[in-house]
């Protein structure tokens, strides 16, 4: 029996690897990208499969998560070496977005609250990095990112104070008001924030010299920089996901799920509602700020109007489509975001919609909104939920 299970797992893994390679070969913008992504995915999937098969997950969950993170990180970093700079750029943007998604996913999935202000929290982190860098240009990246995280958490705390006493709709409305107010707030402090025009970083984020010299022989500086940025983003994303996976499984995570399912019962067993809610909200804000900070590094500048209500709604859509409260869901959402522009322009090109017309410019909103409604009505747990349900059904069938 054990043997059959093992064989099935190997078969499934092999199948996934093949599918991943084929899909990447079809979608990647160049052959080299396709090969690199294919190899990376193959390594990642094999790694995941091997790690779960060993029963490590049950015995040492934290260790298993760490190993998993390292495997996926290694594979991704390896792949960035081969990617074109466009792919690396998309990947970096998507990875940073997946951090934001994870934050909201945690807030919504674990505590049942919803925030429409995450674009503004991203903006807080994005501006914090730029403002800091303009005053202290030589700060190490890690410190800069930490500053962004802390400022996101602090603003989150400020807004979260009344939120602790509120149930869903009020919080959603209040965070919506925050998202709408964000540009005006930025403009009120325009001597610091640069107003609508935003800020430039004084110096671009560059890799250390030894790395540049290692690559300069073969590639242009631009490519190395984009690759370096993608690598930084991927490592930060890995750390963020690792931390969140542990938080999901921790006592706090359990307390939050209890609140989501039944807040009265949660209070009866001694969970502090206000504290747990405010922590969830702060974590979500800090993650959004981290994502925004990475965007500033990647773009080398920050433009506050980017962080509009529309972005918040996009964030919400991606979380819902990926699967609320799931870790893979946030990754899927980030990937969708990274490639959504490409997919939508492909769609316009193949349906004969005038690319300069009104419809084409509105298509992203209409598609995301439509998917948001359809997902919520027909598959409220998103892609991950749907896959898990299919998986569970198969298991039940094979068990009987």
Partner 1 sequence: MDAFLTSRIISDILAGLTNGVIYGLVALSLVLVWRSTRILNFAQGAMPMFAAYVGMVVFAHELGYWPLVGISILAGFTVGGVTERVLVRHLYGKPEINPIVVMVGFLIVLEGVAAAIWSTTPRGIPNPFSPIDWQLGGKPVSLSPFSVYEIVTGLVVMTLIAVLFRFTKLGLQLRASALAPEVSRLLGVRVGRMLTLGWILSTGVGTICTVLVASNFFTGLTPQVMDGIFAFGFIAAAVGGLDSPVGAIVAGVSIGIILQFVGDYVNSNAIILTALIILIVSLMVRPNGLFTKSSARRV
CB 200 to partner 1: min, Å: 22
Residue 363 lies near partner 1 (rule: CB under 8 A)? yes
Within 8 A by CB and 6+ apart from 171, the residues are 113, 114, 115, 163, 281
**Per-residue x/- marks for partner 1, 186-215, CB under 8 A?**
-xx---------------------------
| Nearest CA-CA partner of 79 in 250, 230, 288, 302 | 230
The distance of Cα 243 from the centroid of its chain, to the nearest Å, equals: 13
* Rounded CA separation 200/214 (Å): 28
Residue 159 lies near partner 1 (rule: CB under 8 A)? yes
Near partner 1 by CB under 8 A: residue from 166, 235, 247, 387: 166
Residue 270 lies near partner 1 (rule: CB under 8 A)? no
Other CB atoms within 10 Å distance of the CB of residue 74: 15
Within 8 A by CB and 6+ apart from 9, the residues are 49, 53
Kindly tell me which of 38 and 103 has the beta carbon lying closer to partner 1. 103
CB 99 to partner 1: min, Å: 21
Kindly tell me which of 159 and 201 has the beta carbon lying closer to partner 1. 159
111 within 8 A of 266, measured Cβ to Cβ: no
Can you list the positions of beta strands (E) in the chain? 199-200, 301-302
Q: Which residue has the tokens 């410019």?
A: 361
Give, in degrees to the nearest 5, the angle at Cα 239 between 236 and 240: 85
Kindly tell me which of 170 and 391 has the beta carbon lying closer to partner 1. 170
Near partner 1 by CB under 8 A: residue from 72, 96, 232, 313: 313
* Interface of this chain with partner 1, residues 315 to 354, rule: CB under 8 A: 316-317, 320
Residue 168 lies near partner 1 (rule: CB under 8 A)? yes
In DSSP terms, 301 is beta-bridged to 200
The distance of Cα 106 from the centroid of its chain, to the nearest Å, equals: 11
Near partner 1 by CB under 8 A: residue from 8, 135, 136, 167: 167
DSSP state of 1: -
CB 351 to partner 1: min, Å: 13
**Per-residue x/- marks for partner 1, 1-40, CB under 8 A?**
----------------------------------------
Return the SS3 of 198. Answer: coil
Within 8 A by CB and 6+ apart from 250, the residues are none
Residue 184 lies near partner 1 (rule: CB under 8 A)? yes
Output the CA–CA distances (angstroms, integers) from residue 216 to 80, 194, 221, 348, in the order listed.
Answer: 16, 35, 7, 39
Structure tokens at 5: 């299970």
Kindly tell me which of 85 and 108 has the beta carbon lying closer to partner 1. 108
Stretch that binds partner 1, among 43-51, 201-209, 283-291, 364-372 (CB under 8 A): 364-372
Per-residue buried b or exposed e for 374-386, using 16+ beta carbons within 10 Å of the residue's own CB: ebeeebebbbbbe
Near partner 1 by CB under 8 A: residue from 18, 197, 204, 359: 359
Residue 108 lies near partner 1 (rule: CB under 8 A)? yes
Residue 86 lies near partner 1 (rule: CB under 8 A)? no
164 within 8 A of 278, measured Cβ to Cβ: yes
Stretch that binds partner 1, among 13-21, 71-79, 87-95, 113-121 (CB under 8 A): 113-121
CB 196 to partner 1: min, Å: 11
Counting residues that bind partner 1 (by CB under 8 A) gives 49
In DSSP terms, 302 is beta-bridged to 199
Kindly tell me which of 4 and 264 has the beta carbon lying closer to partner 1. 264
Which residues contact partner 1 (rule: CB under 8 A)?
A: 108, 112-114, 116, 159, 161-162, 165-170, 172-174, 176-178, 180-181, 184-185, 187-188, 264, 309-310, 313, 316-317, 320, 358-359, 361-363, 365-366, 368-373, 376-377, 380
């Amino acid at each position: 029996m054990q043997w059959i299970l093992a064989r099935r797992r190997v078969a499934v893994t092999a199948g996934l690897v093949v599918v991943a390679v084929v899909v990447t070969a079809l979608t990647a913008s160049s052959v080299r990208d396709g090969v690199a992504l294919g190899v990376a995915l193959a390594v990642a999937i094999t790694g995941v499969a091997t790690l779960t098969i060993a029963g490590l997950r049950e015995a040492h969950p934290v260790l298993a998560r760490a190993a998993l993170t390292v495997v996926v990180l290694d594979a991704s970093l390896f792949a960035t070496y081969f990617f074109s700079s466009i792919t690396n750029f998309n990947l970096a943007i998507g990875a940073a977005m997946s951090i934001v998604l994870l934050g909201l996913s945690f807030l919504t999935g674990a505590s049942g609250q919803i925030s429409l202000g995450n674009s503004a929290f991203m903006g807080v982190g994005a501006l914090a990095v730029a403002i800091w860098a303009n005053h202290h240009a030589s700060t190490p990246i890690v410190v800069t990112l930490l500053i962004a995280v802390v400022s996101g958490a602090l603003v989150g705390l400020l807004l979260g104070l009344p939120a602790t006493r509120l149930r869903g709709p009020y919080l959603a409305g209040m965070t919506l008001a925050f998202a709408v107010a964000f540009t005006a707030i930025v403009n009120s402090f325009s001597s610091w924030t640069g107003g609508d025009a935003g800020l430039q970083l004084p110096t671009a984020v560059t890799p250390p010299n030894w790395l540049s010299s290692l690559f300069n022989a073969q590639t242009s500086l631009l490519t190395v920089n984009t690759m370096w940025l993608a690598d930084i983003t991927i490592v930060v994303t890995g750390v963020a996901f690792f931390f969140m996976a542990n938080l999901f499984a921790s006592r706090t995570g359990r307390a939050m799920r209890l609140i989501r399912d039944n807040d009265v019962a949660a209070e009866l067993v001694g969970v502090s509602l206000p504290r747990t809610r405010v922590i969830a909200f702060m974590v979500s804000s800090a993650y959004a700020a981290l994502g925004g900070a990475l965007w500033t590094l990647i773009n080398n500048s920050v433009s506050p109007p980017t962080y509009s209500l529309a972005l918040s709604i996009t964030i919400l859509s991606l979380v819902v489509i990926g699967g609320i409260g799931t870790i893979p869901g946030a990754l899927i959402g980030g990937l969708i975001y990274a490639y959504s522009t490409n997919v939508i322009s492909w769609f316009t090109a193949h349906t004969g919609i005038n690319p300069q017309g009104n419809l084409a410019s509105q298509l992203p909103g209409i598609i995301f909104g439509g998917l948001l409604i359809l997902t919520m009505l027909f598959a409220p747990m998103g892609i991950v939920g749907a896959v898990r349900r299919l998986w569970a059904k198969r298991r039940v069938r094979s068990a009987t």
